[in-house]
Chains A and B, each alone.
Chain A
Amino acid sequence: MLGKPGEKVLLMSNEAIARGAIESGLDVAAAYPGTPSSEIGAALARVADKFGFYFEYSANEKVAMEVALAAAVSGLYSMTMMKHVGLNVASDTLLTLAYTGVKGAMVIVTADDPSCHSSQNEQDNRYYGLLGNLPVIEPSTPQECLDFTRYAFQLSHELELPVLLRTTTRVNHTSADVVLGDIQQKHEAKFTKEPTRFVTVPAVARARRLWLLEQMKKAWKIAEECEFNRVSGDGKLGVITSGVAYTYLSEYVSREKLECAIFKLGFTNPLPENRIVEFIKKREQVIICEELEPVLETRVRAIAQKHGLNQKIHGKMDGYFPFEYEFNYEVVAKGVGKVIGKPHIHEKTPSGVQVPPRPPVLCAGCPHRATYYAIRKVTKGKAIFSSDIGCYTLGIQPPLEMADLLTCMGASIGNANGLSKVNPEPVFAFIGDSTFFHAGIPALLNAVHNGHSFITVIMDNSTTAMTGHQPHPGLPLDALGKEAKAVSIEALVRGCGVDYVKVVDAVDIPKAVEVYREALQVGGVRVVISRSPCALLVAGEKRKKGEKIGRYFVSQECRKCYVCINQFACPAFYIEGEEVRINDGLCLGCGACTHVCPFGAIKGGD
């Protein structure tokens, strides 16, 4: 990332996006972390001081977008980046931001997650470009991530519109050799009052709507000329494609020595309509090859209809490609093969040996396991568990099974409002510290004001763990590791009007059990802050300081009741023959299991 212009270095696409922004003279960036976009923020945080731009982790995506918006209307070059569902949170800002536009430049990275590798849905955010009248740029490779980010900044400045840079997991998390470019000057901030542009009262909004439509006409002209919309090859068969699908298609075409023309689109909203017409006219058949929704296909079909073209068009809508999940070579080969009458068959090779599944589980030493274990002990599972987005969602796995409903960030508390109103069982809402700051607060004060009755457990592990340990407003450090004011969760909860607030040490299971037992006896909105830092952070700190991690082992006193495995299920435990053992490569020395063993057989820790 820090190399010189012209140098070739190994970069993950997310780092390439960060580098592309820096090369464009990035002044301000803000983000809330979310897979698969998180490494962009991590990369920027590492070099913000060196290059002299401002970077922050914001409380949520909406705030992040507003920080970037404000910089861009003040004449600066800004970027915000988020996972696909993060853009839902920021969409209120986005769709009016298009009306005011920007003065400097603003790039919004939306990282979609086909196959839901680490997400709760599979939405295709190219639709936001159509919904909001915003230009959309889609890179396919790490080099394109750098080049297209630079282009997106230029385009944004030229059109005075924010530009969506749309990636998918497989693009974000691919690394390759990338050639670095030169670094442009940063910009001067100057806010000029222009209420007829920036204050979107109805009269202004009506006028700006016309402006926006005009800008998108200009964007169309640019898309027609854009070098990132390019045709290669020739033939009676044509394929229109974008994103990572392009890479599989090119490999298929080269392996099969297929005679065809490929129209690779990098600028996908607005579409280069004239060039698409020209492309289709030269073919007998055209295939649209894209992941997720038929965003290109519906529009290419509409363009063909508008221009009276009779060529056959194939895609998802007539069953050649799936709507669901990410593409790979096999999916592309199967779809194209079907069109050209060359069925792609690759025999699957299932393993004859049964392969035990290895689903993601809470880490060894994770304090969330202790929290769940204590609550399961008290409730015996006879309660409704409203879950949220974070590592603790993994409590869904047996034997804990502590997740009954999961929607989106902050919804554990919002859903608990309704669940507790209509169901007789006790209701628990589980939410992490970072997620509570992000979207939990309005739902909590709603519960207080409307008189709902449930227990919110804020599982405070002092970090945003799942996305790679980013800080949040509850910590005394900011994105760059500098001192920051920590916002107290207790004070915040009390400020929301909650009277019943308890703090427990998650790992001290016996004490926690007492607190949950007591909380169940009272009504109203109750908040228990279950606190213990992420085990990976603790172990990392100890390693850094050269301190020993005090691991545990199972002593002779073990009576093989297997409670540690059957009910607690820390992945450091395993059975060898009849014996229970602890894998000392996995044990992080939290000691929670010593409270779980009824015979005191688990020893060590020093």
Chain B
Amino acid sequence: MNILLCGVGGQGIILASQVLGEGSIKIGKHVVISEIHGMAQRGGSVYTFVRIDEGDAPIPPHGCIDVAVSFERIELLRYLDFMSGETVVLINDAKIPPIGVSLQKKPYPEIEEIVAEVGKITAKILHFDAEKLAMEAGTKLAVNSVMLGAIAALQGFPIPKAVVLDTLLSKLTEKVREVNRKAFESGYEVAKASTAGHPLSP
């Protein structure tokens, strides 16, 4: 299985990838995670590939992503080459406009436009406001936990929900565990409700 996680620096994408990586090892799978963290500590585009039982290459071939997760609404549009009609897509509706957008007074893509664009490639799209769910759980910083919950809810996802959640919590300090558990569960519930009897299965 090939998973793409993308978003903006500071959203916890690397941590989410590690959770999926450690979870894979716990269920006895070979896993390869590729990340590029270059110039910016924060604010730049960040993406990782998590490849479970897919050999050793860090970057998958084009058209081979099974699950694509966009932690910010536009980010997935940079990686369409990697997607196919089989790709299951999760998008956080929330936006983090880069400063260039404000500088040039350019419009920021609406979520409907983005969904329509991704929809040209795959019909298996679930989008929701993960930031709102994270805030309801207690902090905006828990967007990654919401997204992890949603990933764990996908039909046929190889790592059991409990393993993903336990791995996530083991990487957090006691203080923020409860908030992130709530965030994870809310992401799980949203995705579970939407995938029931829906073609959102890998």
Contact = CB atoms under 8 A, between A and B. Distances in A.
Interface of A: 8-10, 35, 117-118, 140-141, 169-171, 173-177, 244, 247-248, 250-251, 254-255, 328-330, 333, 346, 348-361, 363-364, 391, 393-394, 398-399, 465-466, 536, 565-566, 569-571, 573-575, 583, 585-586
Contacts of A175: 17-18, 21, 31-33, 35
B34 to A, nearest CB: 5
27 contacts: A8-B25, A140-B56, A169-B36, A174-B35, A174-B58, A175-B17, A247-B58, A255-B61, A329-B57, A329-B59, A329-B62, A351-B77, A351-B80, A353-B109, A355-B74, A357-B98, A358-B43, A358-B98, A359-B44, A359-B98, A364-B42, A394-B39, A399-B103, A465-B41, A565-B99, A569-B99, A583-B96
B26 to A, nearest CB: 10
A536 B102 contact: no
A573 B98 CA distance: 9
A586 B108 CA distance: 18
A466 B38 CA distance: 9
B57 A250 contact: yes
A176 B30 CA distance: 7
Given A10-B21, A176-B56, A329-B61, A359 B100 contact: yes
Given A364-B43, A575-B102, A118 B55 contact: no
A35 B8 CA distance: 19
Contacts of B83: 349
Contacts of A328: 59
A247 B51 CA distance: 13
Contact of A330 (B39, B62, B103): B62
Interface size class of B (residues with CB under 8 A): 35 or more
Given A350-B80, A353-B117, A571 B25 contact: no
B114 interface: yes
B22 A10 contact: yes
Nearest to A13: B58
Contact of A173 (B37, B54, B63): B37
B194 interface: no
Contacts of A349: 80-81, 83, 121
A576 to B, nearest CB: 9
B45 interface: yes
A196 to B, nearest CB: 47
Contacts, number: 178
Contacts of A394: 39-40
A250 B55 contact: yes
Top-6 shortest CB links A-B: A360-B40, A118-B38, A360-B39, A247-B57, A360-B44, A349-B80
B56 A247 contact: yes
A170 B83 CA distance: 21
A169 B103 CA distance: 32
Which of A250, A355, A565 has the largest count of B CB atoms less than 10 A from its CB? Answer: A355
Contacts of A354: 106, 109
B100 A357 contact: yes
Nearest to B83: A349
A358 B44 contact: yes
A393 B81 CA distance: 31
B138 interface: no
Given A177-B31, A247-B56, A566-B103, A118 B39 contact: yes
Given A118-B38, A170-B59, A363-B41, A574 B80 contact: no
Given A140-B56, A329-B57, A357-B100, 12 more contacts: A10-B18, A10-B22, A10-B31, A35-B38, A118-B39, A174-B34, A175-B18, A177-B25, A353-B114, A356-B106, A391-B41, A566-B103
A397 B8 CA distance: 18
B57 to A, nearest CB: 4
B105 interface: yes
Contacts of A329: 57, 59-62
B197 to A, nearest CB: 29
Given A173-B37, A175-B32, A329-B59, A355 B109 contact: yes
Nearest to B113: A353
